A and B are shown apart, each in its own frame.
Chain A
Amino acid sequence: DTAVSQTPKYLVTQMGNDKSIKCEQNLGHDTMYWYKQDSKKFLKIMFSYNNKELIINETVPNRFSPKSPDKAHLNLHINSLELGDSAVYFCASSQGLGVQETQYFGPGTRLLVL
């Protein structure tokens, strides 16, 4: 059983389109995250949610809108895609918000904007 899953795994789309990435975790965790990994492999947090409440919004353009329908799901919707949005997007989850919590990552979604 996959602990943190993401769909789709690959996403190729044209500039200006709107797309969504879905994330689900079956670990019973309360906290979920989105990270972006750029072409140089640098990982940076975008958002975190705890019990469906937004906790971190890390200077991400308004075109990115996360939605958490329940604790097990955190989706990422991107409007008006730009070339610079091409990256790998990772979803992660942890038991809670504590500094000691380990984050477990999904397999990543490779987004290519043409």
Chain B
Amino acid sequence: AQKVTQAQTEISVVEKEDVTLDCVYETRDTTYYLFWYKQPPSGELVFLIRRNSFDEQNEISGRYSWNFQKSTSSFNFTITASQVVDSAVYFCALSDFKAAGNKLTFGGGTRVLVKP
């Protein structure tokens, strides 16, 4: 069965600090996709990134970067030079072929609080 674990429930940092969010997943499939979503205090879910299981290249988008390591089944997310606007709950999610109907399995989320 698919499973996504975000062990950190809450992280508090001071503005300009870097913060890394851990995501560990379980799947028996060889083809799968991993996603990160952001849920700001306003409540909506915002898509951040999608990564497929065959592409282990790290990705950088502005202050955001993602580190995918199949060997450890991890897809970690780093915010560099955090800002107050980064305060949100961040979710890691998994979709694989065995999940009928493109079901997303979400981790429990990590709440990031960036203090000025």
Question: Which A residues fall within an 8 A CB radius of B?
Answer: 31, 35, 40-45, 48, 50, 55-56, 58, 88, 90, 92, 94, 96-108, 110
> In the assembly, what is the distance between CA of A31 and CA of B104, in Å?
13
Which of the candidate stretches B16-24, B39-47, B79-87 sits at the interface with the other chain?
B39-47
* Interface presence of B52 (CB below 8 A): yes
Whether the Cβ atoms of A102 and B103 lie closer than 8 Å is no
Chain B, residue nearest A108 (CB): B43
Q: Which residues of B contact A97 (CB under 8 A)?
A: 101-102
Interface string of B10-47 (1 = CB under 8 A from A): 00000000000000000000011101010100011111
Q: How many residues of B contact A (CB 8 A)?
A: 28
Docked Cα-Cα span, A97 to B33, in Å, equals: 13
Residues on B close to A: CB < 8 A?
31-33, 35, 37, 39, 43-47, 50, 52, 89, 91, 95-97, 99-104, 106, 108-109, 111
Rank and list the top 3 A-B pairs by shortest CB-CB distance, nearest first. Answer: A55-B101, A105-B45, A56-B101
Q: Please state if B91 and A43 are interface contacts (CB–CB under 8 Å).
A: yes
Asked if A45 and B47 sit within 8 Å, CB to CB, the answer is: no
In the complex the two chains form, what is the Cα distance from A41 to B9 in whole Å?
11
A100 CB → nearest B CB, Å: 6
